Chain A
Amino acid sequence: MIEIENVHKSFGSLKVLKGIDLTVAKGEVVSVIGGSGSGKSTLLTCINGLEPVDSGRILVEGVEVHARSTDLNKLRRKIGIVFQQFNAFPHLTVLENVTLAPRKVKGMSKREAEEIAVKQLDHVGLGDKKSVYPSRLSGGQQQRMAIARALAMSPGYMLFDEVTSALDPQLVGEVLDTLKLLADDGMTMICVTHEMGFARDVSDRVAFFDQGVMAEIGPPEQIFGDAKNEATRKFLSSVR
């Protein structure tokens, strides 16, 4: 379970998050939608402790992310994150990209890590690209590799930060399919996304962020069919 309680965060004088409350249950898929600069991506980087918060707290499985006593390196093993820019490690092959963290962070043997990596790569449809360097992959393939890389750590939670935004339109589908598989497997996911179709079809709940505030949250049918909030309605009519 991820519990976000009254989280505030600013960059300099810019208030990015103004009191966010959100609880995500185990196995739940929550999509976060909203305009750019609404604080969606910042929330994700706060959840895995890449960014500090100004006030409020975030608990992952009861562990307070920003507490001084928390070992973030250890906590991050449980929380996979995939970014808009795929961040493939260019000097490593696809297989090495995926085995690096299991080996160096979890201390697995090469053999063990490769077994897991192969499974994850097959899962995302990159089984035949193991010995290739990322520069030889398309954007969609790189992004699927990044997903496999995060999954190889067997995290309990996955955060997706606009993972299809940097892709050519024809490559978006393959990445969304991968996310759908993951959701079907029961992974707990928070997806910041601009793909309204995906948010509607896959999420258990959809949250709408507006200028650092979570303006509305509810099941997809309600958000897309009968939004209560004026800003939500306006946003949805603009992206349709």
Chain B
Amino acid sequence: MGNYTFQWRQALRALPQMLDGALVTMQIAILSMLIGVTIAVFLAVMRNSKSRWLRAPATAWVEVARNTPALFQIYMAHFGLGSFGIYLSPYVALLAGIAFNNAGYLCETFRGSLRAIPSTQLRAGRSLGMGPATAFRLIVMPQMFRIAFLPTMNQMVWAILMTSLGVTVGMSTDLTGVTQDLNARSFRTFEFFALAALIYYLITKVVMLGARLLAWRLFRY
């Protein structure tokens, strides 16, 4: 243990490359959240539906997304679908895997939030002549997003960190991929991964700050 000599210079020289990787990481995380949130809204509505045919697929989605490892989900998107001749690139497979996971967790978050909104809100909308979808979109959904905001941000952080699993399906352009590559060429494992960890930390901080600003802008009431 005592004879490892730290060499930070090499790691710092690779910083621009790593920051490029960080951008890819952020891009995947944010896209996976946008897709995940959109799907989760539909899943939440489906799970609250009276029809079995709507409830069943949504429940299945949530069960798989929440009760299997995220690594498995990303693996299936790349290699699993690959066995059926559907080829998703590492980037797309990683994005799909995380979006799948996000949707499952967020569905339950949204469903809990929906319970907190009195049914009389929907009724008030309907009695003003709105159809059910319009009343949901204009009256229920905005309130749901506010209640769900903090747990959704948890999932956002989780999505950022999950992107590191992309390396298992051959992802080489995100932060972990780039770091892994540099490590393989230099064997400066500690330095590179310590720097990567710091960058992950900073990414989550930046994204959370952005989210806070968004919340401040959106939730004025």
Q: A91-B142, A91-B143, A133-B221 are in contact. Are A100 and B123 (CB under 8 A)?
A: no
Chain A residue nearest in CB terms to B131: A73
Pairwise interchain contact A87-B128, C-beta atoms closer than 8 A: no
Pairwise interchain contact B130-A105, C-beta atoms closer than 8 A: yes
CB neighbours of A48 from chain B (8 A): 127
- Within 8 Å by CB of B124, from A73, A87, A153, lies A87
Chain B residue nearest in CB terms to A106: B129
CB neighbours of A50 from chain B (8 A): 123, 126-127
Chain A residue nearest in CB terms to B126: A50
Task: Say yes or no: is B50 at the interface (Cβ < 8 Å to chain A).
Answer: no
| Interface mask (B51-77 → A, CB under 8 Å = 1, otherwise 0) | 000000000000000000000000000
Task: Say yes or no: is B138 at the interface (Cβ < 8 Å to chain A).
Answer: yes
- Mark the stretch among A76-84, A169-177, A187-195 that contacts chain B: A76-84
Report how far A91 CA is from B221 CA in the complex, Å. Answer: 6
Report how far A142 CA is from B128 CA in the complex, Å. Answer: 16
Number of A-B contacts (CB under 8 A): 59
Report how far A74 CA is from B128 CA in the complex, Å. Answer: 9
Task: Say yes or no: is B146 at the interface (Cβ < 8 Å to chain A).
Answer: yes
CB distance from B206 to the nearest CB of A (A): 27
CB neighbours of B185 from chain A (8 A): none
Pairwise interchain contact A81-B127, C-beta atoms closer than 8 A: yes
Pairwise interchain contact B124-A83, C-beta atoms closer than 8 A: yes
Q: A87-B124, A104-B134 are in contact. Are A77 and B146 (CB under 8 A)?
A: no
Task: Say yes or no: is B49 at the interface (Cβ < 8 Å to chain A).
Answer: no
- Within 8 Å by CB of B221, from A73, A81, A90, A101, lies A90
Q: A91-B221, A133-B220 are in contact. Are A76 and B128 (CB under 8 A)?
A: yes
Chain A residue nearest in CB terms to B146: A91
Task: Say yes or no: is A89 at the interface (Cβ < 8 Å to chain B).
Answer: yes
Pairwise interchain contact B129-A101, C-beta atoms closer than 8 A: yes
CB distance from B125 to the nearest CB of A (A): 8
Q: A87-B123, A90-B221, A91-B221 are in contact. Are A101 and B130 (CB under 8 A)?
A: yes
Task: Say yes or no: is A150 at the interface (Cβ < 8 Å to chain B).
Answer: yes
Q: A100-B138, A104-B134 are in contact. Are A89 and B129 (CB under 8 A)?
A: no
Task: Say yes or no: is B154 at the interface (Cβ < 8 Å to chain A).
Answer: no
Pairwise interchain contact A87-B126, C-beta atoms closer than 8 A: no
Task: Say yes or no: is A85 at the interface (Cβ < 8 Å to chain B).
Answer: yes
Listed by A's residue number, 9 A-B pairs whose Cβ atoms lie within 8 Å are A48-B127, A83-B123, A85-B118, A90-B221, A91-B146, A91-B221, A104-B138, A133-B220, A134-B221
B residues lining the A interface (CB < 8 Å): 118, 120-121, 123-124, 126-131, 134, 138-139, 142-143, 146, 219-221
A residues lining the B interface (CB < 8 Å): 48, 50, 73-74, 76-77, 79-81, 83, 85, 87, 89-92, 100-101, 104-106, 133-135, 146, 149-150, 153
